Amino acid sequence: MQRYADMFSALSAKNQGAFVPFVMIGDPDKQTSFEIIKTLVESGADALELGFPFSDPIADGPTIQHASIRALDNGMTPTDCFDVIAQIREAYPSIPIGLLLYSNLVLAPGVNSFYQKAADAGVDSILIADVPLREADRFIEVANQHGIQQILIAPPNANDDTLKEIGEKSQGYTYLLGRAGVTGAETAATIPADELISKLTQYEVAPPLLGFGISKPEQVTAAIKAGAAGAISGSATVNIIAENLSDDTAMLAQLGQFVQQMKQATQR
Amino acid sequence: MNNLDSKFGDFGGMYVPELLIPALDQLEQAFIDAQADPSFEKEFHGLLKDYAGRPTSMTLSQNLVSNPNVKLYLKREDLLHGGAHKTNQVLGQAILTKRMGKTEVIAETGAGQHGVATALACALMGLKCRIYMGAKDVERQAPNVFRMRLMGAEVIPVNSGSGTLKDAVNEAMRDWSANYDKAHYLLGTAAGPHPFPTIVREFHRMIGEETRAQIMEKEGRLPDAVVACVGGGSNAIGMFADFIDEPSVRLVGVEPAGKGIHTHEHGAAIGKGTKGILHGAFSYIMQDKDGQIEESYSVSAGLDYPAVGPQHAYLHDIGRAEYASVTDEEALNAFQILARKEGIIPALESAHALAHALNMAEEAEDGTIIVLNLSGRGDKDLAHVHSILGDK
């Protein structure tokens, strides 16, 4: 499982950061979701961050909550989500694919079984939104058994001990939170202080990708300039889906344009 | 790492976004400091005594049990200011809020009882208070919404999800993750992430301690069983806590069976649920095979929650406590029995525990002593029960 490392070194050679869009698998439905994810890749996404719809997403603002509801209303199950991922993996063998989801979906089939299914579908990394470092060991252990990289979150309020532990345990990349609160494009990310970035370097955390409140190319440029390895944009991407539910052609065109603009902003 | 044990066996824990860990650690430390500080004890107990009306009485029922040699006592939390046990722990957490230097309080409420308790504590202590309440509950519980607003709280209807308690909890946690610097999340039951289950238990444990002292005075021995209703489980854990190490005392929790636990319309997380994570804790929850959380149901809004506090899950698994369930119909029946035979109108929540306690009393051997925690009074339920029973 070298896809993240390969991606970062290839980008580094081109003097670029990574742009990683997030969408909810199955939003608005299984087939359209597959087309959406293909469009993201074809338009220049360096990696994918994909959500599993969940009934009670406590870390998400209204945009991603509604994406979950749309997918659940259309009957999306975790099995359907793994189907979509397997199709994407078949079409794009080298793009890093990360999951971002909630712990109860991982527990329901059994932690080991969930990671096995993820590995079989071609998943590279898993980030569990409601599993902090303190509860992460049992998941990391299973992840390692299945060749999956467990992604950890570095919040803006993290103390030195937390950053040090993330440095020891993080794999693939580190999800650097751009601000407090829940997901959403309504409140912009704060570009992290040099101090935090230099600490991340000092503790040798996996390359940090800045997320939460990233919706504009200028923010991508600023994040990379501040020392992030790239940026993740979820709610802004999902908003384009939500605003074009009645017109798939316009939705895919706008998504493509958005990803291209965000990707262009990753040039150092 | 935590200074207190964050788990009960495998249950409990802190399954929350990393962002909230510093706020939970701060709360844990504030709780530890307060427990060691005589001035906290003085303030908390002063309020419980002079403001809330503790100790509450314990009443021997006169006409409920047919066997004159079986005694059923009622621990009268219904007499507490605010109308239910909830006032206890809310006062404790409000003092902690001030000790942490925070000026705002966030809370969730289902039926509005925890919201009313939070609002009164915040009014008393000059804290700014906002309460998330499912939009459906705001409609169903108009008198409690008015009570909260009268006491200065802002009530925020939640439209996301099912528009009930679990969605209000989600929204309160979202608010907290943006505002933990100045706001305390005053969680309303013995559930959620550590340290809430422990704090809420400790701030309700006087229920069991008073019961012990009162029964020793009246009977000269411990009861054979204590019985309490379980939604999230705060009144029950408050009653149980002081008896956990007394193996002769049966601990009996009563969950809501709604329209029957064979239906999908109930709230018996221990009885019919499976293990999983909701709202920050590993416990018994109601979920489908994929792990999506299911809606709970009960005639009693205070028991209508698809999870249960993690210590109850643990006490169940180790066999220390037993958990039964009671249907809407049985609870409504017990509600009327207590009103007619003892002149006490119980909360529908407490009526669940009463229904089971009455069955226990009827089957009990001579000399048995049972204490029922009458966790709240029924004023809030009058309109609802009237609409169900009509003018019978």
Encode pLDDT of A89-127 as tens digits: 999 999 999 999 999 999 999 999 999 999 999 999 999
* pLDDT at residue B392 greater than cutoff 70: no
Strand partners, B282: B12, B277
Angle, in degrees to the nearest 10, between helices B38-47 and B21-35: 90
Residue B194 sits at the chain A interface (C-beta within 8 Å): no
Percent of chain A whose predicted confidence (pLDDT) is above 90? 85
Judged by CB atoms closer than 8 Å, whether chains meet at A133 and B290 is answered as no
Encode pLDDT of A185-197 as tens digits: 888 888 776 778 8
Encode pLDDT of B313-359 as tens digits: 999 999 999 999 999 999 999 999 999 999 999 999 999 999 999 99
> Which residue of B165, B277, B279, B288 to mutate against A (max A Cβ within 10 Å)?
B277
Contact in structure between B13 and B276 (CB atoms under 8 Å): no
Residues B84-94 have a mean pLDDT of 98
b/e for A212-245, b at 16 or more Cβ within 10 A? bbbbbbebbbbbbebbbbbbbbbbbbbbbbbebe
Judged by CB atoms closer than 8 Å, whether chains meet at A134 and B14 is answered as yes
Only one residue has tokens 């409420």, namely: B109
**CA dihedral (A74, A79, A83, A84) positive or negative:** positive
**Radius of gyration (C-alpha) of chain B in whole angstroms:** 19
Q: Confidence band (pLDDT; 50, 70, 90) for B118?
A: very high
- 0.90 surpassed by complex ipTM: yes
Judged by CB atoms closer than 8 Å, whether chains meet at A154 and B278 is answered as no
C-alpha closest to that of A214 among A231, A192, A196, A201: A231
Judged by CB atoms closer than 8 Å, whether chains meet at B15 and A131 is answered as yes
Encode pLDDT of A138-152 as tens digits: 999 999 999 999 999
Min Cα separation B176/chain A (Å): 8
> Which residue of A76, A107, A163 to mutate against B (max B Cβ within 10 Å)?
A107
Mean pLDDT of chain A: 95
Only one residue has tokens 């969940």, namely: A54
Sheet with B274-278, strands from edge to edge, namely: B7-8, B11-12, B281-285, B274-278
Q: Which two tokens stand for residue A49?
A: 């961050």
Contact in structure between B15 and B278 (CB atoms under 8 Å): no
CB-count burial class (<10 Å; 0-12, 13-18, 19+) for A260: middle
Q: Confidence band (pLDDT; 50, 70, 90) for A153?
A: very high
Q: Active-site positions of B?
A: 86, 108, 375
Percent of chain B whose predicted confidence (pLDDT) is above 90? 92
Q: What is the DSSP string of A230-255?
A: EEEE-HHHHHHHHHTTT-HHHHHHHH
Of A54, A131, A181, the CB nearest to B292: A54
Cα(A174)–Cα(B212) distance, rounded to whole angstroms? 53
* Residue B359, number of CB atoms within 10 A of its CB: 14
Q: Confidence band (pLDDT; 50, 70, 90) for A1?
A: low
Contact in structure between A174 and A208 (CB atoms under 8 Å): yes
Contact in structure between B84 and B203 (CB atoms under 8 Å): no
Given this model, what pLDDT does residue A200 score?
87
* DSSP tag of A76: -
Q: Give how far the C-alpha of residue A215 lies from the chain's centroid of Cα atoms, to the nearest Å.
A: 14
Residues B131-155 have a mean pLDDT of 92
Of B18, B178, B292, the CB nearest to A182: B178
* Residue A125, number of CB atoms within 10 A of its CB: 25
Residues B9-29 have a mean pLDDT of 97
- This prediction has a pTM of 0.96
Judged by CB atoms closer than 8 Å, whether chains meet at A180 and B21 is answered as no
